[in-house]
Chain A
Amino acid sequence: MTDATEPAIPAEGPRRARRVRLPKPLRNASLLIGAAITLTICLLAIFAPLVATHDLTQMDMANRFSGPSAAHWLGTDNFGRDLWSRLVAGARISLSIALIAVTASAIIGTVVGLVSGYFGGWVDLLLMRITDIFLGFPPLVLVLAIVAVMGPGLVNVALSLIVVSWTEYARVVRSTTLSLREQNYVQAARALGASWPRILFREILPNSFGPIIVLASLGLGTAIIWESALSFLGFGLPPPAPTWGWSLSYGTRFIRDEPWMSIISGAAIMVTVLGFNLLGDGLRDVLDPRRQTRGGA
């Protein structure tokens, strides 16, 4: 039903929110570097047990806080445990939580956005007011409060991240749906008697994938920051789970003399988040509907 020459968003449609654009030389590089970083970290996380050089809990008190060496690539922590092995294991935790949270938020937000934008009227009004309420909380405050009352743990951490993340998808998908539902191919589908679920999920949804993927990529970075913040504050996965945030925060006890443990754990978080942000920005430039329609309209 979808016409391949049909632009995803009409060029004369409502003006979309201002987008952040990177300078040209950085743009493609952004996609490449971002993809390289995230791919590497994902592979490390998936094969964490294979790439780990030491047992996660193997202590070596004689070698506490040793710097990087041939035996310990990234040095050791306060118990002489191998930091490289613990960090790749930590990548596994961070990425799993982020992936669960982002997937669920994207699904919830997308459904809300599709329904809200397509039906309009009081359905739209109600759903958007609810969205506004959740946007009304500073995200970290809500995340902390939820984990505070429900208790720490993988499921609760992921759940708290979902509560604060779905709103963004709802708003973006709603605005693409608003413009897509006036498109000829959607009108045609409706005229042919297609049911609304079919129109929403087979006609409109595929054309909204671009922005959803961009949001998801940026969202993975944000989720990792928040998950690490929770672990940092002591409300994430409890030890002995080798979370990045815990390792960063525990390292601060020795920060005057042995800052390495905190520095390297924080660096792991930052590089990963940077990777997802670069990937998201790069994807945005590739998938930006405005760029696709330019010249044609």
Chain B
Amino acid sequence: MTDYIIRRLLLFVPMALGIIVVTFGLLLLIPGDPAAVLLGQEATPENIASLRDALGLDDPWFLRLGRYMLELLQGDMGVSIFQNAPVSDIILGRLGATVELALVALLMSTVVGVFLGVTAAIRQGGVVDAVAMLLAQIGISMPVYWLALLLMLGFAVQLGWLPAIGRGEPLVSALGMALRGNPAPLWDSLAHIALPALSLALNSAAIISRLVRTSMLEVLREDFVRTAKAKGMRRRSVVWRHALRNALLPVVSVIGLRFGALLGGAILTETIFAWPGLGQLTISAISQRDIPLIQGIVLTFALIYASVTLLVDLLYAAVDPRIRLR
């Protein structure tokens, strides 16, 4: 196990380096002079020259890459051009909202996906199975932004049950307040997160349900399931306790990977529901072509994603000995 952990951790290093190189490379993709692009049309040649100097743009690229990496090691992601504040501070201020949204969506999609997948699997070939998988197919094909609009239109505009935009208290602090006898902020937070999380979750729920179904079908054919049935165990407990536990193994890694997709999808959801997270920040950074901020955001997203993947791999190895012995 220790061997596996070390090997897996060692793989993370070139991966993280690669991610940094690609992120740095974004700057090289800018057509023309980055300094001129950054300063906009009113820039004078003197301004451009001084910015080029400040950004070190006249140095060869490998020197700039080296400097970029050194700064990153010190937690320095540069300074936002438009907000004139350290990129890392701006990102940290927004990160919580996005992670909260993605986690709630992940929870929703896992619960719905597992339930739908198991239900379809135990009724394989029947009407329930066909309907569940048709729903999943539609869920996979549904663009997040369209679903978000439909949900907003239905539940916020027409019915008026839920707020259309914004965020309440952060869930964690709202939960704290609820524990101290003030449940109002918690309800408010939940009402605000319901629609964004739901629209973000559906896609992943559909994908997870299809995987759970496939995995369940394989497990249900195994000997131990037959044995459990043969010794007279109740069907419900065979399915939900014995079979599901084994069927979930391959699904766990996919659930982890979905987290990356959820982070990306959050860009769209946050824009629609005015959720004050990284996604919204991404859009404003891109509109303003705030390159250091864009780089910082891309890097943050990618490093979170890579870390989650690493964590999932380690978790997987911990529960399934076949992996670490390979």
- What residues of chain A have their CB less than 8 Å away from a CB belonging to chain B? 18-26, 30, 129-130, 132-134, 136-142, 144-151, 221, 225, 228-229, 232-235, 245, 248-249, 252, 255-256, 259, 262-263, 266-267, 269-270, 273-274, 277-278, 281
Q: Is B318 an interface residue (CB 8 A)?
A: no
Complex CA gap A270/B144 in Å reads 10
Chain A residues with CB under 8 A of B263: 138, 141
Q: Chain B CB within 10 Å — which of A21, A22, A145 has the most? A: A145
Contacts A26-B133, A252-B272, A266-B146 given; 17 further ones with Cβ under 8 A? A18-B215, A20-B213, A21-B217, A23-B120, A23-B130, A132-B15, A138-B264, A141-B263, A144-B282, A148-B289, A149-B291, A150-B31, A228-B145, A233-B271, A252-B149, A262-B146, A263-B153
In the A-B complex, the 4 residue pairs with the smallest Cβ-Cβ separation, listed nearest first, are A266-B146, A133-B18, A138-B264, A140-B264
CB pair A133–B22 under 8 Å, yes or no, is yes
CB pair A134–B22 under 8 Å, yes or no, is yes
CB pair A259–B120 under 8 Å, yes or no, is no
Q: Is B9 an interface residue (CB 8 A)?
A: no
- Minimum Cβ distance to chain A for residue B42 (Å): 19
Chain A residues with CB under 8 A of B285: 148
0 or 1 for each of B136-156: is its CB under 8 Å from A? (1 = yes): 011011111110011011000
Q: Is B211 an interface residue (CB 8 A)?
A: yes
Q: Which residue of B137, B145, B268 is within 8 Å of A281 (Cβ)?
A: B137
- Minimum Cβ distance to chain B for residue A36 (Å): 15
Interface residues of A, dominant DSSP:
helix
What are 24 A-B residue pairs whose CB atoms fall within 8 Å in the complex? A20-B211, A22-B133, A26-B130, A26-B133, A129-B15, A133-B19, A136-B15, A140-B267, A140-B268, A141-B264, A145-B26, A145-B294, A148-B286, A148-B289, A225-B143, A229-B145, A233-B267, A255-B149, A255-B153, A263-B150, A269-B146, A270-B138, A273-B143, A274-B137
CB pair A233–B283 under 8 Å, yes or no, is yes
Complex CA gap A235/B294 in Å reads 14
Which residues B238-288 have CB closer than 8 A to chain A?
250, 260-261, 263-265, 267-268, 271-272, 282-283, 285-287
Chain B residues with CB under 8 A of A233: 267-268, 271, 283
- Minimum Cβ distance to chain A for residue B263 (Å): 5
0 or 1 for each of B281-303: is its CB under 8 Å from A? (1 = yes): 01101110101001101100110
Chain A residues with CB under 8 A of B29: 146, 149-150
Chain B residue nearest to A263 (CB atoms) is B150
Interface residues of B, dominant DSSP:
helix
- Minimum Cβ distance to chain A for residue B125 (Å): 5
Complex CA gap A267/B142 in Å reads 9
Chain A residues with CB under 8 A of B211: 18, 20
Q: Which residue of A18, A25, A151 is within 8 Å of B250 (Cβ)?
A: A18
Chain A residue nearest to B254 (CB atoms) is A18
Q: Which residue of B22, B134, B250, B268 is within 8 Å of A232 (Cβ)?
A: B268
Complex CA gap A25/B134 in Å reads 11
- Minimum Cβ distance to chain B for residue A156 (Å): 9
- Minimum Cβ distance to chain B for residue A243 (Å): 13
- What residues of chain B have their CB less than 8 Å away from a CB belonging to chain A? 14-15, 18-19, 21-22, 26-27, 29-31, 120, 124-126, 129-130, 133-134, 137-138, 140-146, 149-150, 152-153, 157, 210-211, 213-215, 217-218, 250, 260-261, 263-265, 267-268, 271-272, 282-283, 285-287, 289, 291, 294-295, 297-298, 301-302, 305-306, 309
Chain A residue nearest to B123 (CB atoms) is A23
CB pair A20–B143 under 8 Å, yes or no, is no
CB pair A256–B157 under 8 Å, yes or no, is yes
Complex CA gap A255/B152 in Å reads 10
- Minimum Cβ distance to chain B for residue A124 (Å): 15
CB pair B150–A141 under 8 Å, yes or no, is no
Chain B residue nearest to A255 (CB atoms) is B153
CB pair B143–A269 under 8 Å, yes or no, is yes
Chain B residues with CB under 8 A of A144: 267, 282, 286
CB pair B149–A141 under 8 Å, yes or no, is no
Complex CA gap A228/B309 in Å reads 28
CB pair B305–A138 under 8 Å, yes or no, is yes
Complex CA gap A144/B149 in Å reads 21
CB pair B18–A136 under 8 Å, yes or no, is yes
CB pair B18–A130 under 8 Å, yes or no, is yes
**A23-B129, A273-B143, A277-B141 known; A138-B22 Cβ under 8 A:** no
Chain A residues with CB under 8 A of B289: 148-149
Complex CA gap A26/B129 in Å reads 9
Complex CA gap A269/B309 in Å reads 31
Q: Which residue of B18, B141, B153, B265 is within 8 Å of A221 (Cβ)?
A: B141
Complex CA gap A150/B31 in Å reads 6
Chain A residue nearest to B30 (CB atoms) is A149
- Minimum Cβ distance to chain A for residue B31 (Å): 7
